[in-house]
A and B are shown apart, each in its own frame.
Chain A
Amino acid sequence: QVTLRESGPALVKPTQTLTLTCTFSGFSLSTSGMCVSWIRQPPGKALEWLARIHWDDDKSYSTSLKTRLTISKDTSRNQVVLTMTSMDPVDTATYYCARTRMTAVGHYFDYWGQGTLVTVSS
């Protein structure tokens, strides 16, 4: 059974750095073809992909946010960590991690965590 769970602060101040952890079970990030992504959703708005890390430690980032994002993994602990610097109130959103399946022409998200709401406010 595949599960993912996000954890991190519910409230951060503007200019601070956000660190979120995704703890997963039911699969291994050392398995060829396996990836984990972060996706966010501002209240009442659409989904936005943020970053992805592959089993071989290859990483990809949203073009618009890449200067602020860092994704890493701890395979032994089944965790993926996302850091986002210079937080702003517009970054207020529910942040999801999701298992990512690779195909010959792209990726899709077959299992999602329940999400964690992060509010940016002073």
Chain B
Amino acid sequence: SYVLTQPPSVSVAPGKTARITCGGNNIGSKNVHWYQQKPGQAPVLVVYDDSDRPSGIPERFSGSNSGNTATLTVSRVEAGDEADYYCQVWDSSSDHSVVFGGGTKLTVL
């Protein structure tokens, strides 16, 4: 089955740029989606189809995907961005399953 690998944690100072990676075999050929989850809350979609943002999501959130790595970039990081972030793809080779990464804890210093 398809595996997505995320770093367990990323730390960044306020106002700086955070980059959260999601690794997978030829992930560039898949559409990647990203979710933000704050403690005690349900996940929220922040980027879909590699780089599109749902309405209401700040432009500070952006995504890219190429080769074996997809990246969620959070610019001008704010304290309120501290959360767990999950990447997700659809694995067409495995019963049309959905695969999530292990999650990355973004800490704002």
Cα A48 to Cα B97 in complex, Å, equals 10
Instruction: State the interface size on chain A (CB cutoff 8 A).
Output: 24
With A96-B42, A109-B43 given, name 6 new contacts (CB 8 A). A52-B98, A60-B97, A105-B31, A106-B31, A106-B33, A107-B90
A49 and B98 contacting across the interface, CB-CB below 8 Å: yes
B48 and A110 contacting across the interface, CB-CB below 8 Å: yes
Min CB distance, A30 to chain B, in Å? 21
Judged by a CB distance under 8 angstroms, whether A37 is at the interface is: yes
Judged by a CB distance under 8 angstroms, whether A112 is at the interface is: yes
Judged by a CB distance under 8 angstroms, whether B61 is at the interface is: no
Chain A facing B: main interface SS = strand
B45 and A109 contacting across the interface, CB-CB below 8 Å: yes
User: Which residue of B54, B97, B103 is within 8 Å of A49 (Cβ)?
Assistant: B97
Q: Which of the four size classes fits the interface of chain B?
A: 20 to 34
Contact A49 to B99, CB < 8 A, known contacts A105-B31, A112-B42: yes
A110 and B90 contacting across the interface, CB-CB below 8 Å: no
Q: Give the residues from 99 to 122 in chain A that come closer than 8 angstroms, CB to CB, to chain B.
A: 101, 103, 105-110, 112-115
Min CB distance, B19 to chain A, in Å? 20
Name A's B-contacting residues (CB within 8 A).
37, 46-49, 52, 60-63, 66, 96, 101, 103, 105-110, 112-115
Name B's A-contacting residues (CB within 8 A).
1, 30-31, 33, 35, 41-45, 48-49, 54, 86, 88-90, 92, 94-103
Name which residue of chain A comes closest to B88, CB basis: A108
Cα A61 to Cα B98 in complex, Å, equals 9
A37 and B101 contacting across the interface, CB-CB below 8 Å: no
B54 and A110 contacting across the interface, CB-CB below 8 Å: yes
The residue among B41, B42, B44, B54 with the most chain A CB atoms within 10 A of its own CB is B42
Cα A63 to Cα B91 in complex, Å, equals 11
Cα A49 to Cα B101 in complex, Å, equals 11
A105 and B90 contacting across the interface, CB-CB below 8 Å: yes
B94 and A63 contacting across the interface, CB-CB below 8 Å: yes
Name which residue of chain A comes closest to B34, CB basis: A108
Cα A96 to Cα B86 in complex, Å, equals 15
